[in-house]
Homo-oligomer: A and B are copies of this chain.
Amino acid sequence: MSTTDLRLPAHAARSSAPSDAARKPRARRSARAHNRLPQLLDEAARLFRAQGFHGTSVREIVQSIDMLPGSLYYHFAAKEDLLAAVYEEGVHRISERVLGAIASETGAWRRLEAACIAHLEALLEDSDYAQVVIRVRPADVPAVAPSLVALRDRYEEIFVGLVAALPLRRGTDRRSLRLMLLGALNWSQTWYRAGRDDARAIGREFVALLRHGVPSPRT
Most chain B CB neighbours (cut-off 10 Å) among A51, A168, A202, A209: A209
Q: How many copies does the complex hold?
A: 2
Q: Is the CB of B214 within 8 A of A166?
A: yes
Interface of A is mostly: helix
Which of A122-168 touch B at CB < 8 Å?
137, 140, 166-168
- How far, in whole Å, are A166 and B215 apart by their CA atoms in the complex? 11
Q: Determine if A74 is an interface residue (Cβ-Cβ < 8 Å).
A: no
Query: In the complex, how many residues of chain A place their beta carbon closer than 8 angstroms to a beta carbon of chain B?
Result: 40
Which residues of B lie under 8 Å from residue A216 when comparing CB positions?
167-169
| A interface residues, Cβ below 8 angstroms from B | 51-52, 54-55, 137, 140, 166-170, 172-173, 176-177, 179-188, 190-191, 202, 205-206, 209-217, 219
Which residues of B lie under 8 Å from residue A167 when comparing CB positions?
216-217
Offer 8 A-B interface pairs, CB within 8 angstroms, sorted by A. Answer: A168-B215, A168-B216, A170-B217, A180-B209, A183-B184, A183-B187, A183-B188, A186-B190
Q: Is the CB of B176 within 8 A of A206?
A: yes
